[in-house]
Structure 1
Amino acid sequence: MAAVALSVAGASQASEASEPAAVGPVAANGLAATPPMGWNSWNHFAGRITAADVRAMADAMAANGMRDAGYVYVNIDDTWEGKRNAAGDIETNDKFGDMKALADYVHARGMKLGLYSSPGATTCAGFVGSHGHEDQDARRFAAWGVDYLKYDYCGARDLYPVTQRNQEMLFRKMGDALRKAGRPVVYSLSQSGDFDIWRWGPQTGANLWRTTPDISDTWESMSQRGFRQLDLSAWSGPGHWSDPDMLEIGNGGMTADEYRTQMSLWSLLPAPLLAGNDLRTMDAATKDILLNREVIAVDQDPAGHPARRLERQGDVEVLVRDMADGSIVVGFFNRGESTTVRWSWHKLGDRFAHPTGARDLWHHAAIDTQRPFEATLPRHAVAMVRIAP
């Protein structure tokens, strides 16, 4: 979500220690063997999200095939929080009411509920954060039935100097609290990739961490964040994923070709697939992109191998990813104007010089491997091919 400049009501920097207490490394929780898939409220609803909207999204995911395709997390971003009661327990605000009932509603439809908080006294949008209440909030989330926590550093900038050590200790503190609370919770960190978080994120107990600033619904924002991940591939794998932020597919700021590029790139990396559109009003093109089972299978491949850049042909980036079954997926990403790609199979090495089969994952069609691959790619379009050795 976008940061909002705030002062922390009732908090005095002078009353805080200069840095948070040390917390030891947090053990992995064994979750997120493949990148999490689901939906997050922020890109479309931002601060307007309500419990009724969340129920509607869960209903839509169950009805439109998303749940059955693997989108199982229904994640509420910032602005659900109310005040703390006399015991210090966090409550929801009037937009949400009974969070346990909402979690039960989502669970009854075969999905899981996610929430948002911050190690600050306030969140990015100025709502109550978890600072000083980490164990209490983790127990509260567990009692409600929460399955996913997005933890955004934003508000903690008002409490401590912004250093790697301070961020790591605060993220470890909540990671440790979630473990002690006893409920399996996917733990997602958000702080824009500061201090090379991919190097130390696993020690916080987290399953994924943002590696970029917030995404926006433009080609420039999406492509910069997506292709940036190729430099970080060594740090991502089962249980610990680099996160270039949520999908913008269906929000209207890009073309269908550009949205296919985001889906293809995020799946090849691989990255979490968290839709961010209004699932009640999706058009056919958006459904076709989000529900492409062959592309989703690339993202969810159990080996978790990262993509790598093989070559560049003018404006076309050629990325490849090794799959658990011995096949290989090649993505041809046109970052410029309309062009034609011509490709010889031998470029993939001896094992694939004479492939036994190849399949176009967007056209759902077999490809003739007896001749070189050729495709015309419109501006900002993509082709994805899965090849058997």
Structure 2
Amino acid sequence: MRKYVLITALLLMGATLGLEALHAQSTFKSWAKTPPMGWNSWDAYGPTVTESDVKANADYMASHLKAAGWQYIVVDIRWYVSNDKAGGYNQKDAIYNLDQYGRYIPAVNRFPSAGDGKGFKPLADYIHARGLKFGIHIMRGVPTEAVARKMPIKGTAYTADQIFSPKGQCVWLKDNYTIDSTAAGAQAYYNSILELYASWGVDFIKVDDLSRPYHQAEIEMIRKAIDRTGRHIVFSTSPGETPIADAASVAQNANMWRMVDDVWDTWPHITHLMKVAEQWYPYIQPGNWPDCDMIPLGRIAIRGERGTDRMTRLTKEEQYSLMSFFLIFRSPLMFGGDLPSLDEFTSSLLTNKAALAMHRDGTKVRQLFQKDGRLAVTSVNAKTGEHYLALFNISDSADPLMVTVPFAQLGLKTANVSVTNVWTGKNEGRKKGVISVNLAAHACKLYSLKK
């Protein structure tokens, strides 16, 4: 009798888990109804970020940015390597940290609270206690070391060497092999690592080397593994360029996806992003966010991968242009600079209430034109009905450009519109029929328009 009771209980438990996973699959787009906003360690610390770095940035966010909507703290690449160094993160002598099931665990010399098998849970608890959310970066696939050691996959009779494929290995980082989705045990491995992350309290996962080329099978396995945990873990694919041909697939499986490769603090990175973004406007939807990449402002490259410790190389005009585009496009906002080093100007870009309201409540985001060095993007506030208009001079010329938009092109039938500069809050009076502005090289204007 006890045997049948046990079997019944196990069947009910399995059915419950199945229902939870099914529910998660149907609701995951509600986990990020507005674009996620947070801090990511990559731009400032590369693969060398430590627990003290993360806590310092979390403390700053909790004290200075949380009230403005910033909430995620994300530990980027190779937190599982003991001897990583900036500028050489693909070294052959890497010391990996794995548990008995071939799953990466934090390097204790960098994250001391992870000792005694605790993993990232103590750090996640620290961040959660401050009203924030915790995220991590991983590479797709199974660790090469787990394959070489034929490590067991938790809960199965399979081992890591039975699920890998040497084909399609990441060309710029050799930590992992591709997982063969047709292999028995493949889904179980992804299930095991997401189960581990959920037990740590992870709220956000950035999975690298997924989008270019597009690894649909692994993306789908990750989606299933997240849903199986029953935890609301926002799923971000990286890096770009995600193929537009796979837009429906990535929207079905991820909360956000990169449109381009890494965006750093040079103007060509920004104009390239604006051009690639042209094809993604129709896919800006609650729970689904085309991603402009991190915000390379403030103090970056302290121990990073591109250049030396510096303040961003972008001019103030270029910084306004970058932020205006990210905000009106409704990209996820992942700040890359060191928050404790934040200067007053950069802070003003991150906390402007009117600009963040546009980012949070904007709808009907669309590009009006991108031609002859001129770019115009518009959206409509879902709550107030006000129209937004971002005008950019993206020309390579040093000469100023006149950028003009008739109000009729925005769907504003009235001939008399009140114009307010979003960044300054200054009302510039009422304009009739058209708005026209002379913009210096790489400059922009961001307006709120009301009837």
TM range (shorter): 0.7 to 0.9
Three-state SS of the structure 2 residue aligned to 1:137 is helix
Instruction: State the Cα deviation string for residues 304-325 of structure 1 (Å, max 9, x = none).
Output: 432222475x533222112213
Q: Does 1:52 align with 2:52?
A: yes
Q: Does 1:354 align with 2:368?
A: no
Q: Does 1:326 align with 2:380?
A: no
Output the CA distance in 2 between the equivalents of 1:311 and 1:353.
25
Given that 1:211 and 1:244 are in contact with CA atoms closer than 8 Å, whether structure 2 keeps it comes out as yes
Q: CA deviation at 1:202?
A: 2.2
Output the CA distance in 1 between the equivalents of 2:49 and 2:177.
18
Q: CA deviation at 1:216?
A: 1.9
Q: Does 1:104 align with 2:153?
A: no
Output the CA distance in 2 between the equivalents of 1:84 and 1:370.
63
Deviates more, 1:351-360 or 1:326-335: 351-360
Deviates more, 1:229-238 or 1:351-360: 351-360
Output the CA distance in 2 between the equivalents of 1:377 and 1:277.
28
Q: CA deviation at 1:345?
A: 5.1
Three-state SS of the structure 1 residue aligned to 2:268 is helix
Deviates more, 1:332-341 or 1:226-235: 332-341
Given that 2:386 and 2:450 are in contact with CA atoms closer than 8 Å, whether structure 1 keeps it comes out as yes
Counterpart position of 2:138: 117
Counterpart position of 1:265: 325
Three-state SS of the structure 2 residue aligned to 1:101 is helix
Output the CA distance in 2 between the equivalents of 1:311 and 1:84.
49
What amino acid is aligned across from residue 443 of structure 2 in structure 1?
A
Output the CA distance in 2 between the equivalents of 1:377 and 1:356.
21
Deviates more, 1:122-131 or 1:168-177: 122-131
Question: What TM-score, normalized by structure 1, do the two folds share?
Answer: 0.83
Output the CA distance in 2 between the equivalents of 1:367 and 1:271.
27
Aligned-residue CA RMSD (Å): 2.6
Output the CA distance in 2 between the equivalents of 1:340 and 1:90.
52
Question: What TM-score, normalized by structure 2, do the two folds share?
Answer: 0.72
Deviates more, 1:25-34 or 1:287-296: 25-34
Output the CA distance in 1 between the equivalents of 2:270 and 2:409.
27
Deviates more, 1:87-96 or 1:367-376: 367-376
| Matches for 1:24-173 after TM superposition, within 5 Å | 27-29=26-28, 30-64=30-64, 66-81=65-80, 82-94=96-108, 95-97=110-112, 98=114, 99-122=120-143, 125-127=173-175, 131=179, 132=186, 133-153=189-209, 164=214, 167-173=215-221
Three-state SS of the structure 2 residue aligned to 1:91 is coil
Change over 3 Å in CA distance of 1:351–1:175 after alignment to 2? same
Q: CA deviation at 1:138?
A: 0.7
Output the CA distance in 1 between the equivalents of 2:127 and 2:369.
42
Counterpart position of 1:207: 255
Change over 3 Å in CA distance of 1:163–1:267 after alignment to 2? closer
User: Of 232, 236, 257, which residue of structure 2 is paired with 1:184?
Assistant: 232
Instruction: State the Cα deviation string for residues 170-213 of structure 1 (Å, max 9, x = none).
Output: 01111111111111110001141344332310232x10111212
Change over 3 Å in CA distance of 1:277–1:298 after alignment to 2? same
Q: CA deviation at 1:370?
A: 4.3
Three-state SS of the structure 2 residue aligned to 1:90 is coil
Q: CA deviation at 1:343?
A: 4.4
Counterpart position of 2:428: 367
Three-state SS of the structure 2 residue aligned to 1:368 is strand
Output the CA distance in 1 between the equivalents of 2:410 and 2:425.
25
What amino acid is aligned across from residue 444 of structure 2 in structure 1?
V
Q: Does 1:385 align with 2:441?
A: no
Output the CA distance in 2 between the equivalents of 1:356 and 1:306.
20
Change over 3 Å in CA distance of 1:286–1:86 after alignment to 2? same
What amino acid is aligned across from residue 387 of structure 1 in structure 2?
L
Given that 1:355 and 1:388 are in contact with CA atoms closer than 8 Å, whether structure 2 keeps it comes out as no
Output the CA distance in 2 between the equivalents of 1:373 and 1:349.
11
Three-state SS of the structure 1 residue aligned to 2:62 is helix
Given that 1:230 and 1:269 are in contact with CA atoms closer than 8 Å, whether structure 2 keeps it comes out as no
Output the CA distance in 1 between the equivalents of 2:282 and 2:449.
23
Q: CA deviation at 1:68?
A: 1.2
Change over 3 Å in CA distance of 1:343–1:268 after alignment to 2? same
Change over 3 Å in CA distance of 1:119–1:342 after alignment to 2? closer
Three-state SS of the structure 2 residue aligned to 1:61 is helix
What is the number of residues matched between the two proteins? 354
Given that 2:324 and 2:446 are in contact with CA atoms closer than 8 Å, whether structure 1 keeps it comes out as yes
Change over 3 Å in CA distance of 1:208–1:308 after alignment to 2? same
Output the CA distance in 1 between the equivalents of 2:285 and 2:411.
26
User: Of 352, 358, 362, which residue of structure 2 is paired with 1:298?
Assistant: 358
Q: Which has the larger radius of gyration?
A: 2
User: Of 279, 283, 288, which residue of structure 2 is paired with 1:231?
Assistant: 279
Output the CA distance in 2 between the equivalents of 1:221 and 1:311.
16
Q: CA deviation at 1:292?
A: 1.6
Counterpart position of 1:288: 348
Given that 2:78 and 2:138 are in contact with CA atoms closer than 8 Å, whether structure 1 keeps it comes out as no
Three-state SS of the structure 2 residue aligned to 1:380 is coil
